[in-house]
Structure 1
C-alpha cells in the first residue's frame, strides 16, 4: 500500500463529502457542515493552516542531534511520538457512510496503537458514536481516549464511568461543542460549563481529565484552577464558530500563561511532521491530527491510519535533525525564526 493508493481509494469512498484535495485547506468545502468543511465562510478552518504557515523555522546543522528520538510520555503512556488521532465522529453524516461508525473509529484506534500512539474517540447526537468509540478502545485494551460532548452533568459522569470500564487512559469533554445545534435538535442539549461544573467533572474520576476547545488565556487559566490534567488548544477544526483565529495564533500566549501547570495539546490544520514541530515549538506537549486520518481510514483502513501517522513521525524526526533537537523536550521557541 502507498499514499497514492490510499488517496485514490479514499476519494472514491468519500465522493460527495470530501474531495481529498491535493492540499487540504478547506477552500473547496467551505460551509459544508455536515460534511468535511468549516462552518460559515470556512475562515476558521483556513486560519488553522495559515497560522501554521506564518511561522518559519531556524535551520541548524552544527550540532549533535544526529538521531533524534520522537518518543514522549503523555497520561502515563509511553508513545512513539507526540502525534495522536483527534476525536472524530459522524461517519454517516459527515463522511458519506461508506464505513460504519464502529468500523471507522476502530480503524482510527487500531491504526494509532499500531503506530505506537493514542487514538481519541468522540461523541455525538447518535449514542452509537460514543459507544462505538468505547468498543474500539476496549478492543485495543484501553489504548485510547474518549471525549464527551458538554452534556448535562449527570450524563457526562455516566459517560465517564463507561470510559473507566473500557480501560481508557484518560477522558475529557470538548467544551467547544457547546453550540452544536444538532445535539439539541435530537433532544440532547449541550452548552457552556462553569468552572465549578468542570471541577465537579474532574473530581468525579481518577482518570486524567482533559478539556478540549480552549482558545483564550483566561479560559486556560480557569481550566488550570479547575484542576484539569490537560487542555487542547482547538477551534474544533473550524466547525463551530466562524471567524476564529487559528490554534497556532493563540497557542504561544496560552503556553506562556500555563506551561508546566497543565499538559498542553493542540490541533487544527496539522498536515505534516513540520506542522507538528511548529506546534511543539510554540508550546504544545502533544498534537492531534484529524482530517488526514479520515483519508487514511477510508483509503487504507487501520493500515492507512498507521501509515500516515508513521509518515508524520518520520517528517518530525527529519525536521528535528535540521533544527538541532535531540528529544521532544528540546523543541522550543528557538526553533521558530523571528525577523
Structure 2
C-alpha cells in the first residue's frame, strides 16, 4: 500500500496530498479537490466522530476465524463494505487517469476483493456514462447512484442504470443542494416523500431495489422508509455539501433507532480502516461505504490497488473482531465500544 499511496500522491498532487491521516485538515475548502466544503468542518467531524470512539479488548474467548461475510439486499459481500460513489476524477480533478479507467479499476478491483462498487454521477455526461459502462461490462455487479435531477434527466438516467443489469440502484440525495449544477443548467433538488415514493415504485416495477443516500436525521430516514426505500445511507456527502454538520457516527445511532430494523442502514464518512468499520457496525450500521481511500487506491494502483486496499481492510477488520471477541459482522454488539461510565 505504501507504493500505491506514493504513486497516488504524485498523480493526485494538484488536488489531493494523500495525507498519512486523511482527516480533511490540509484540504479544507479545496473544491474542486478532495476537501470538505467551506471550513471543512463536516469532513473533519466525520473523522473525529470515529476517532473519539474506542474499542474494548476482550480476549477470553475461542474466536479465531471471525465471519465477515454479509448479504446486502440479496448481494453477497465478503465484507460489509462498499466503495462509495465518486465521479469526476478526470473531469473535475485531473488525477492522471480517465473516467473510464478509474471506474473500471474500482468496479473490477472491488469484484476481485469480493465486494461491490457504487458508481457516481455528474456533469459532463462522461462521469455517469463511464460508470454505467463499467457496470455493464461486469454484468451489473455494482450499484449505480444517480443524483436527484429535476425534469427528464432523472428518468433518463434511471433507465440507463436499469439497463446495466444491476439489481440495486441508488440516489445520493445529499447532492440536492449543489448550486454549481443548477448554474450549469443541470439542476438537482430535494424530494418530497410523495416524489420519492413515485421514484421507488418505478424502480420496484423493474424488479430492482433502491438505496437512498444522504440522510442525517431520524425523521428523514423514517420518511424514506415509509416512502418505500429498500435501504438508507447515513451520509453528509463526505462533508462536501453542507458545512458544519455533525459527523455521521454521531447521528447514526438515532437513525438506526428510528428505522428499527425495517430496512438495512448503511453509513459512510471518515471510515479509514477495519477498526472504523467495526465501530460503525457497533453503532448499528449494517454496512459501510468508503470513498476517498478507495479513490487513492484506484489512482495509485488501478484495480490491483483497489483489491489490495480491501484485502488489507478485511485483515484489519478480522483482527479487530478477534481482539474484541466478535464472531461475525451480522451481530456486532454495542459492548464492543468502550463506555467510560461502566
TM-score range, shorter chain: over 0.9
Distance 1:67 1:42, change over 3 A: same
Q: Give CA deviations for 1:245-275 in whole Å, capped at 9, x if unaligned.
A: 0000000111111131111000011110000
Aligned to 1:316: 317
Aligned residue-pair number = 337
Cα distance in 1 for partners of 2:95, 2:183 equals: 21
Q: Give CA deviations for 1:74-129 in whole Å, capped at 9, x if unaligned.
A: 12111100111000001124432411111111111110011000100010021111
Cα distance in 2 for partners of 1:254, 1:228 equals: 14
Consecutive unaligned residues of structure 1, counting only runs of 5 or more, are: none
Aligned to 2:295: 294
1:288 deviates by: 0.4
Matched, 1:132 2:130: yes
Matched, 1:237 2:235: no
Aligned to 1:259: 260
Aligned to 1:155: 153
1:330 deviates by: 1.8
DSSP-derived class of the 1:329 partner: coil
Which residue of the other structure, out of 88, 100, 103, is the alignment partner of 2:101?
103
Cα distance in 2 for partners of 1:288, 1:95 equals: 21
Aligned to 1:183: 181
Matched, 1:167 2:172: no
Q: Give CA deviations for 1:230-255 in whole Å, capped at 9, x if unaligned.
A: 11100000001000000000001111
- Tell me if the contact between 1:70 and 1:327 (Cα under 8 Å) persists in the aligned partners: yes
Cα distance in 1 for partners of 2:137, 2:155 equals: 22
TM, length-normalised to structure 2? 0.96
Which residue of the other structure, out of 41, 44, 59, is the alignment partner of 1:43?
41
Matched, 1:89 2:87: yes
Consecutive unaligned residues of structure 2, counting only runs of 5 or more, are: none
DSSP-derived class of the 2:60 partner: coil
TM, length-normalised to structure 1? 0.97
Matched, 1:216 2:217: yes
- Tell me if the contact between 1:34 and 1:93 (Cα under 8 Å) persists in the aligned partners: no
Aligned to 1:61: 59
Out of 326-335 and 299-308, give the one that drifted further: 326-335
